[in-house]
Amino acid sequence: MNECYYDKRMDFFYNRTKTDTADEWTGPQLIGVLCFGTFFCLFIFISNSLVIAAVVKNKRFHFPFYYLLANLAAADFFAGIAYVFLMFNTGPVSKTLTVNRWFLRQGLLDTSLTASLVNLLVIAVERHMSIMRMKIHSNLTKKRVTFLIISIWAIAIFMGAVPTLGWNCLCDITVCSSLAPIYSRSYLVFWSVLNLVVFFIMVVVYIRIYMYVQRKTNVLSSHTSGSISRRRTPVKLMKTVMTVLGAFVVCWTPGLVVLLLDGLNCTDCGIQNVKRWFLLLALLNSVMNPIIYSYKDDEMWATMKRMICCSSEDKSQERRSSRIPSTVLCRSTDISGHYVEDGIIQGTICGKGDLGDKGNS
């Protein structure tokens, strides 16, 4: 029967993998990393809080897509918490940690990644349901969206806890990985491959949807004389989502590839030399998302700016330019039930009248 090492401190496992954490994280390098991490963690907390507050405050964002976007911001906020905990439990401190504290450190990071990934997958499904029929919003009810958000976090917490629940190498140290010295290599292979496959699936789905929307919009453009900005609204939403997904894939893929190489026991890949830089790259993803939201969505930026400037009561600042807010078609009755395609063909978007009548006048 294999001996288990639950009572050992992390220095026992780091020494086995010959990882000298003290030399890697000392002096000016450690100070620079901590300052860099602290600044961006503060930005993550503030910016993602603004995104969540904007969705809650602005009734134009009270639709499934933006609820899920707010949940993605919550996942980024949680990632900031995970990075703060990591900063205070890394470097020379790593070797002094107990097994349970190290599991907590890594579990927080794994949970934040899973929450973001599953949330993006749910958004992909929501966009597929809506965009393939040229709708701005799907018919998801608030109860179903609430259930989805709870499910996202349940899955994220479970995946973050899987190594703690038993898929580790504490009872068989011969299969321990190098980067995560109490994770088994088989778990790292499973974890990295699973995430990379989901990345690929989502990219393919979004490319397919985007091509469909472009093709459909071009067909409608040749048959209608409606506003170009209104016809382009679904495309704008897709560009926002695809930019968020693209940033996520770019920031997380290098780290997942490194984990995969470690799981495959690649001893000559130099993974120890790049691990911390890929971790910082993953940190940047949580910084980039709020910037993408505000840059790509005029209404989101306007709402955030009003909150920053403490002038939320000044409704005259709401922009009504040709760059129509991506969430609005009509503010009459049930906005989520209007089809963009039907609105363009019939010319009834926001009560603008019948295009056929205009043509006859």
Tokens of 228: 């170009």
The pTM (predicted TM-score) of the whole model is 0.76
Percent of the chain with pLDDT strictly greater than 70: 74
Residue 301, pLDDT > 90, answer no
For the chain, give the mean pLDDT. 76
Query: Average pLDDT in the 66-85 region?
Result: 91
pLDDT at 331: 36
Beta carbons within 8 Å of 280's beta carbon, 6+ residues apart: 33, 36, 37
Q: pLDDT tens across 15-55, in order?
A: 877 665 545 555 676 677 778 778 888 999 999 999 999 99
Contact between 36 and 280 under an 8 Å Cβ cutoff? The reply is yes
Query: Average pLDDT in the 3-12 region?
Result: 85
pLDDT at 173: 86
Decide which of 322 and 65 is more confident. Answer: 65
Count of helix runs (H) and strand runs (E) in the chain:
13, 0
Please give the Cα distance from 136 to 148 (Å, whole number): 19
What separation in angstroms does the CA of 36 have from each of 33, 243, 259, 274, 291? 5, 24, 23, 17, 18
Residue 82, pLDDT > 70, answer yes
pLDDT at 75: 93
Tokens of 282: 């993953």
Contact between 95 and 22 under an 8 Å Cβ cutoff? The reply is yes
Contact between 44 and 244 under an 8 Å Cβ cutoff? The reply is no
Q: How far apart are the first and last CA of the chain?
A: 90
Query: Average pLDDT in the 235-241 region?
Result: 69
| 10-222+233-309 classified as CATH 1.20.1070.10 | yes
Helix 27-57 vs helix 271-296: crossing angle, to nearest 10: 30
Which SS3 state, helix, strand or coil, does residue 184 take? strand
What is the residue extent of each domain of the chain?
Answer: 10-222+233-309
Q: pLDDT tens across 309-347, in order?
A: 864 444 444 544 444 444 433 333 333 333 333 333 333
Residue 294, pLDDT > 90, answer no
Q: pLDDT tens across 178-219, in order?
A: 888 899 999 999 999 999 999 888 888 888 887 777 777 677
Query: Among 1-10, 79-88, 124-133, which stretch is predicted with the lowest mean pLDDT?
Result: 124-133
